[in-house]
Amino acid sequence: MIIKCMKSELISGINIVSKAVPSRTTLSIQECILIDARTSAITLTANDMEMGIETQITGIVEEKGAAAIDARMLSDIIRKLPENEVTISADENFHVKIVCEKANFQIMGKEWEDFSRIPYLEREEPVEISQFSLKEMIRQTIFSIAVNDSNKIMTGELFEINENILRVISLDGHRISIRTLAMKNNYPSRSVIVPGKTLQEIFKILPGDTESNVEIYFTQNHIMFVFDSTTVVSRLIEGTYFRVDQMISNDYETKVTINRRELVDCIDRSILLIREEDRKPIILNIANQKMELRINSQIGSMDEEIDIEMEGRDIMIGFNPKYLIDALRVIDDEKVDIYYMNAKAPCFIRDAAGSYIYLVLPVNFVV
């Protein structure tokens, strides 16, 4: 194999596929990036057996072939090279040569035929949404998945399609995030649980172009995202997702309309007084068209008032400030509506159009 391409192309491709290189594995071949130039195209692939990513880069194939190279070594070498054309060659004994200007590296590759290719999926009936919309939906929900939870379903997000409506849901036992998008076309109904790790990596590599689309393909066990020259294939999480609709209520005793930025800034200031181990709640006292925010910790105390528009009864309720601010930060509206039932029931942050719903459970506190 002999290929030639610009350093910038190689770096871009390596950055994309390296998201699927496992940090720990007993199989050294999984630590590699496969450079496949057996056709006139140059394709880079990485696969950790749960998620696989491949992307094509621009270059010249002078001699067809393939090479499997340790991902970290390949990345480190390419980054240190001059900003110029790079030549990578490999022989039948897996000797790899990387040349750029006067720099000449010779390293050992691996048996590329042992590399596990990403699963082949039939590209039929894709769901199409803009790159920007998908990236936004991930950004606005991914923070509320569970990390390393014993219930694996909580570590993923529900992708639910009903005609032209895509709904993405995540939860971790303390909060729920729901984003809804109206798509241009109708599609067959589907409901799958996508691993949070896959979505986090897609968020990092997805350009987010408003004019370009992502094609999403489904099988019983896999989901595939195709955008630009990149393909991401991931296993789905098996199981039945929680009946979130049963947890959502339209009833409320108190409705607050508040400037989102003011509330975020206020909560952000209160967090300065909280150590991670303290788990001190922020207390909201809502009355007389004002929201008073109070916090008391071992470090000190804070008290601040924000003007609000209020309907219904006065209420005093406590929350983990992190859970509140996480939801508020991903909302783009200038003002938000927050609905409360009582001090023991969750609050709901949602817009009139129903494009987002955030549920946050309250915590007990002592006045």
- CATH domain 248-360 topology: DNA Polymerase III; Chain A, domain 2 (3.10.150)
Length of the chain: 367
216 burial type by CB count under 10 A (0-12 exposed, 13-18 middle, 19+ buried): buried
Tokens of 59: 């270059």
**What fold is seen in the domain 2-114?**
DNA Polymerase III; Chain A, domain 2 (3.10.150)
What is the spatial distance between Cα 316 and Cα 293, in angstroms, rounded to a whole number?
10
Distance, C-alpha 311 to centroid of its chain: 36
Three-state DSSP at 14 gives helix
Q: Are 64 and 36 in contact (CB under 8 A)?
A: no
The model carries a pTM of: 0.93
The whole-number pLDDT of residue 147 equals 85
pLDDT, one tens digit per residue, over 108-166 is 999 999 999 898 888 888 999 999 999 999 999 999 999 877 789 999 999 999 999 99
pLDDT in tens, 253-280: 999 999 999 999 999 999 888 877 677 8
Are 2-114 and 127-245 in the same CATH fold? Answer: yes
Q: How far apart are CA 81 and CA 106, in angstroms?
A: 14
Q: What does the pLDDT profile of the chain (367 residues) look like in tens digits?
A: 999 999 999 999 999 999 999 988 888 999 999 999 999 999 999 999 999 999 999 999 999 999 999 999 999 999 999 999 999 999 999 999 999 999 999 999 999 999 998 988 888 889 999 999 999 999 999 999 998 777 899 999 999 999 999 999 999 999 999 999 999 999 999 999 999 999 999 999 999 998 999 999 999 999 999 999 999 999 999 999 999 999 999 999 999 999 999 999 999 999 888 877 677 899 999 999 999 999 988 888 899 999 999 999 999 999 999 999 999 999 999 999 999 999 999 999 999 999 999 999 999 877 6
Q: Distance between the two ends of the chain, CA-based, in angstroms?
A: 72
- Under 8 Å between Cβ of 363 and 281: yes
Superfamily for the 127-245 domain = DNA Polymerase III, subunit A, domain 2 (3.10.150.10)
